[in-house]
């Protein structure tokens, strides 16, 4: 079954509350700047203590190889994997992968992003990014639920597990994208769960919908 990854873009207090509420329904948690900058990387341990799920660090690392290496070393003391940008070049991505792999942690590459602005700069190179992710034997790519046909193509080109954001608040439709995905893939949902009146109920709703549509 396709996995559900919660994007926990909240401050510490709310994040821990939501993690506790939804823990029975999500398979993984994505932690990014909003949460880490409002707390610290130690938050990853606290989340793990609450829900014992895979935690991926969404730092969209995009620097020269030497700096990427330092960022990866410091970040990957926590969590199960890290998200990187590829437009900075193969050497920069390799620097992260070479830190992550020996630690048995994932390196996941952003290909095309889900927002409208992605059409201008990143969409034109997204296919090449997916091919580079395959060549570097990374652990996954990020591709948009807001453009199902692009999601399909990027998944096909990379032949890697996909993490796909855009369902819910960004207008992506679960019914459309689920057909493209398999049990190695993750649907990332944030606001549609944590901003709802009852995050637990909403996480359960998405989990059950994924289960029903996966058949």
Strands (E), the chain: 3-7, 28-32, 54-61, 81-85, 106-110, 140-142, 162-165, 186-189
Residues 64-123 that bind ligand O7M (CB under 6 A): 83, 110, 113-114
Query: From its phi and psi, is residue 125 left (phi > 0), alpha (psi between -120 and 50) or beta?
Result: alpha
From the list 11-19, 126-134, 151-159, 164-172, the region that binds ligand O7M by CB under 6 A is 164-172
Q: Active site includes 58?
A: yes
CA dihedral 106, 111, 113, 119 (to 10 degrees): 170
Closer CB to ligand O7M, 189 or 202, in the complex: 189
Q: Number of residues interacting with ligand O7M: please give it, by CB under 6 A.
A: 20
CA dihedral 123, 140, 109, 34 (to 10 degrees): 100
| Among candidate residues 108, 76, 88, 119, the one with its CA nearest the CA of residue 185 | 108
Q: Active site includes 198?
A: no
212 annotated binding-site participant: no
107 annotated binding-site participant: no
Instruction: State the minimum distance, in angstroms, from the CB of residue 67 to ligand O7M.
Output: 19
40 annotated binding-site participant: no
Cα angle vertex 64, ends 77, 141, to 5°?
A: 65
Closer CB to ligand O7M, 116 or 215, in the complex: 116
Name which position in 2, 9, 18, 51 contacts ligand O7M (CB under 6 A). Answer: 9
Instruction: State the minimum distance, in angstroms, from the CB of residue 76 to ligand O7M.
Output: 16
| Among candidate residues 102, 92, 83, the one with its CA nearest the CA of residue 63 | 92
Residues 6+ apart with CB under 8 A from 82: 56, 57, 59, 61, 72, 75, 76, 96, 100, 105, 106, 107, 108
Q: For residue 153, state whether it binds ligand O7M (rule: CB under 6 A).
A: no
Closer CB to ligand O7M, 179 or 191, in the complex: 191
Q: Which of 17, 45, 48, 63 is catalytic?
A: 63
Asked if 12 contacts 50 with a C-beta cutoff of 8 angstroms, the reply is no
CA dist., res. 162 & res. 150, Å (int): 12
Name which position in 88, 170, 196, 209 contacts ligand O7M (CB under 6 A). Answer: 170
59 annotated binding-site participant: yes
Closer CB to ligand O7M, 7 or 55, in the complex: 7
Closer CB to ligand O7M, 3 or 215, in the complex: 3
Report the catalytic residues.
Answer: 58, 60, 63
Instruction: List residues near ligand O7M by CB under 6 A.
Output: 7, 9, 32, 58, 60, 83, 110, 113-114, 142, 144, 165, 168-170, 188-192
Residues annotated within a binding site = 9, 30, 58-67, 114, 165-175, 190-191
């Amino acid at each position: 079954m396709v996995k559900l990854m919660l994007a926990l873009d909240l401050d510490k207090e709310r994040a821990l509350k939501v993690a506790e509420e939804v823990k029975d329904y999500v398979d993984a948690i994505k932690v990014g700047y909003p949460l880490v900058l409002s707390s610290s990387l130690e938050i990853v341990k606290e989340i793990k203590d609450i829900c014992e799920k895979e935690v991926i660090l969404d730092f969209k690392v995009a620097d020269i190889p030497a700096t990427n290496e330092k960022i990866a070393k410091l970040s990957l003391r926590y969590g199960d994997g890290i998200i990187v940008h590829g437009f900075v070049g193969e050497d920069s991505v390799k620097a992260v992968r070479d830190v992550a792999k020996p630690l048995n942690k994932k390196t996941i590459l952003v290909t095309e992003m889900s927002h409208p602005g992605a059409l201008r700069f990143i969409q034109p190179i997204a296919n090449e990014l997916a091919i580079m992710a395959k060549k570097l034997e990374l652990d996954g790519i990020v591709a948009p639920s807001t453009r199902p046909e692009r999601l399909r193509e990027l998944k096909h080109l990379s032949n890697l597990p996909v993490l796909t954001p855009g369902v819910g608040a960004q207008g992506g439709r679960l019914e459309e994208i689920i057909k493209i995905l398999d049990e190695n893939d993750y649907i990332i949902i944030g606001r549609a769960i944590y901003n709802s009146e009852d995050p637990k109920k909403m996480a359960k709703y998405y989990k059950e919908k994924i289960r029903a549509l996966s058949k």
